[in-house]
Amino acid sequence: MDGAEIISIIKKRLPDFNAISVVQDYPDEICIKVKPEVFKETCLTLHKMLLSPVMMLFALDERKTREVFAVNAVFINLKPGQWIMVSMDILPEDCSFDSLAKNIHSAALFERQIAEMFGILPQGNPDLRRLNLHDEVWPQGAFPLRKDFSKMAPGNLNEYKFERVEGTGIFEVPVGPVHAGIIGPGHFRFSLAGEPIVNLEIRLGFTHRGVEKLFEGKSCFDVQGLVECVCGDSVFAYSLAFAQAVEKISQAAVPSQAAYLRGIFLELERMYNHANDIGGIALDVGFSFPAAYAALIKEAVLQLNAKLTSSRYLKKVNTAGGVLVDLDENKKQMLLDSIGKIRKDCAALSTMLNSSVSFMDRVDTTGVLIQKTARDLGVVGLAGRACGIAVDLRKCFPGIYGEVKFRMITQEAGDVLSRLKMRFYEFEESCRLIEEFTAKLASNREIKVNPGKKAASSLGYAEGWRGPVLCYLKTDQNGLIERCKFVDASSNNWLGLKYAVLGNIIPDFPVCNKSFDLSYPGNDL
């Protein structure tokens, strides 16, 4: 679909629609620029037409060059795989826009981020409490992502207002930010009536490190270390999304051999994380033998990573333009041997869990997220596929995955058991993909090109193990980053967890939480 077709489809719903400009710089990305008055209507039309949640919504401070703020919303077109970006300018003296959140719930959290980071007010958004800049430590009126921000000025601090459920017999259980396990920090506040959870409020932002600001002003060729530290369990997915954005900007053609290697590493990352989660689910219901067994599988994949790339978490493997680590014949053989063994182990683990009635009783129909709720909230990735939302970037943007006939896996029930099954099936599929990709590696191969510098912007993406990792990158002519925005699959999926636990009891919360296994650092940035 090209720009003109998109416009004609929008016009069917909005007869007097007029875009300022429609640009298609890259085959998989269409940017429609509109006036602020029609921004909301355009987004709403695309949301209904493409059945896509707001995948990204973010602002840019362009007051230096064009004297405006810009706000971009990104939607996904599933067939053919395409990103549709709607963009508008906001005048600094106005500094507000009409909120999308009342009509499209998936925009709500993004709007709150825009409000706290840029001071641009989404008018009509019913909830403008800050997410990452906590009221207890950060005064009102300091907006760190504005270009003229330099230092926090002291000011009045406030208290955060939690959602309150009131009534006879309602009580609250606050948990966190420091949890009982070895895990990231977040605050969970349960409201209960008797045993069932009536409301769960998740307060995050504890791992906010100002990542987006750190990118600004640095060359896009020497931020690899930072990209790989955004989210420590999705190192490769993040570096892939970022590298892809750089490659799109410089229009570097990545060698196909590098693409296969990337495919292998991305699937290895998926495998160790899925093994970790399967073990976590078993552990959270107190079934420790399979949990230990899963930990062995995870360790085997991590050690395999170390042998192949000398990094257990695949750091310093990927780069803009290709990959830095090649697999020679010995390594290829080792990879195939190990995958064979790991696959057998995983099958044994699956039998172990499936043959335990009491385990199945704990996970079946626990923590159900129904498809309608998930669609409204904009739940994506594995958690979305577990309740029937068939979106997988590997399917929408096939590339090398099309060559090996990638099979997308979905489930319908949306409970802990379906998310567990998803992990087993995806693990199995990852093993197959790695074998297929390894077979496609030629002997003499080029695995890296050198991308150039250019003033442009683009969207990089990768299907990480949780779901899509998106990276919007804008650089100037020297290759310095003006804006880098990551969106992890976790951001809206945290809301999915909130709804999945309703009606369950607190002792089931850990297993529900683990079945989603969402990222704190990827969400808080």
Partner 1 sequence: MIYILKNRILKGVLSRHIDSGLSQEVEFSGQELKALIRKKFGRSLHIRQVDTGSCGGCQSEIISANNPIYDLQRFGINFVASPRHADALLVTGPVSKNMLLALKKTYAAMPEPKFIITCGECALDGGVFKESYYIQGPVNDILPVALHIPGCPPEPLSILKSLLSFLKQ
- How many Å apart are CA 8 and CA 30, to the nearest integer? 14
Tell me if 138 contacts partner 1 by CB under 8 A. yes
Binding mask 249-278 for partner 1 (x = CB under 8 A): ---------------------------x--
**Near partner 1 in 408-467, by CB under 8 A:** none
Tell me the closest approach of the beta carbon of residue 182 to partner 1, in angstroms. 5
Tell me the closest approach of the beta carbon of residue 521 to partner 1, in angstroms. 5
Binding mask 189-228 for partner 1 (x = CB under 8 A): ----------------xxxxxxx-xx----------xx--
Q: Are 282 and 359 within 8 A, CB to CB? A: yes
Tell me if 30 contacts partner 1 by CB under 8 A. no
**Binds partner 1 by CB under 8 A, chosen from 47, 112, 274, 315:** 315
In the complex with partner 1, which residue's Cβ is closer, 28 or 135?
Answer: 135
- Crossing angle between the packed helical segments 416-439 and 256-284, to the nearest 10 degrees: 150
How many CA atoms lie within 13 Å of 109's alpha carbon, on the beta-carbon side? 26
Tell me if 164 contacts partner 1 by CB under 8 A. no
- How many Å apart are CA 473 and CA 488, to the nearest integer? 15
Angle (CA) 498 110 182, round 5°: 50
Among 513, 495, 512, smallest CA distance to 110 is for 495
Buried b / exposed e along 13-49 (16+ C-beta atoms within 10 A): eeeebebeeeebebebbbbbbbeeebbbbbbebbbeb
**Binds partner 1 by CB under 8 A, chosen from 151, 159, 372, 444:** 151
In the complex with partner 1, which residue's Cβ is closer, 354 or 450?
Answer: 354
Stated as kind and residue range, the H or E segment containing 264 is helix 256-284
**Binds partner 1 by CB under 8 A, chosen from 20, 91, 152, 439:** 152
The residues with which 87 forms a beta bridge, in sequence order, are 33, 72
Tell me if 235 contacts partner 1 by CB under 8 A. yes
Stated as kind and residue range, the H or E segment containing 73 is strand 68-77
Q: Are 319 and 448 within 8 A, CB to CB? A: yes
Tell me if 35 contacts partner 1 by CB under 8 A. no
Tokens of 138: 């950060």
Tell me the closest approach of the beta carbon of residue 68 to partner 1, in angstroms. 24
- SS3 (DSSP) at 154: coil
For residue 474, CA distances in Å to 233, 292, 330 come to 25, 44, 40
The CB density around residue 500, as the number of other CB atoms within 10 Å, is 30
Tokens of 450: 């050198």
Tell me the closest approach of the beta carbon of residue 485 to partner 1, in angstroms. 16
Question: What is the rounded (10 degree) CA torsion for 346, 349, 350, 354?
Answer: 180
**Binds partner 1 by CB under 8 A, chosen from 89, 233, 277, 284:** 233
Cα–chain center distance at 232: 13
- Per CB under 8 A, the segment of 230-238, 383-391, 435-443, 478-486 that binds partner 1 is 230-238
- Per CB under 8 A, the segment of 81-89, 137-145, 250-258, 421-429 that binds partner 1 is 137-145
Count of residues making up the chain: 525
Tell me the closest approach of the beta carbon of residue 112 to partner 1, in angstroms. 16
Among 204, 234, 239, smallest CA distance to 467 is for 234
Q: Are 110 and 87 within 8 A, CB to CB? A: no
Tell me the closest approach of the beta carbon of residue 231 to partner 1, in angstroms. 6
**Binds partner 1 by CB under 8 A, chosen from 423, 518, 521, 523:** 521
| DSSP conformational letter for 483 | E
Tell me the closest approach of the beta carbon of residue 464 to partner 1, in angstroms. 13
Residue with tokens 């399979």: 290
| DSSP conformational letter for 448 | B
Tokens of 239: 């570096």
- Per CB under 8 A, the segment of 49-57, 189-197, 288-296, 367-375 that binds partner 1 is 288-296
Binding mask 78-117 for partner 1 (x = CB under 8 A): ----------------------------------------
- How many Å apart are CA 264 and CA 209, to the nearest integer? 30
Tell me the closest approach of the beta carbon of residue 221 to partner 1, in angstroms. 15
Tell me the closest approach of the beta carbon of residue 13 to partner 1, in angstroms. 42
* Count of residues that interact with partner 1, criterion CB under 8 A: 59
In the complex with partner 1, which residue's Cβ is closer, 105 or 362?
Answer: 362
Tell me if 49 contacts partner 1 by CB under 8 A. no
Tell me if 69 contacts partner 1 by CB under 8 A. no
- How many Å apart are CA 53 and CA 333, to the nearest integer? 42
Tell me the closest approach of the beta carbon of residue 183 to partner 1, in angstroms. 6
**Binds partner 1 by CB under 8 A, chosen from 181, 402, 503, 507:** 181
**Near partner 1 in 324-353, by CB under 8 A:** 338, 341, 348, 351-352
Residues that bind partner 1 (CB under 8 A): 132-134, 136-138, 144, 149, 151-152, 177-178, 180-185, 205-211, 213-214, 225-226, 229-233, 235, 276, 289, 292, 295-296, 298-300, 302-303, 312-313, 315, 338, 341, 348, 351-352, 355-356, 519-521, 524
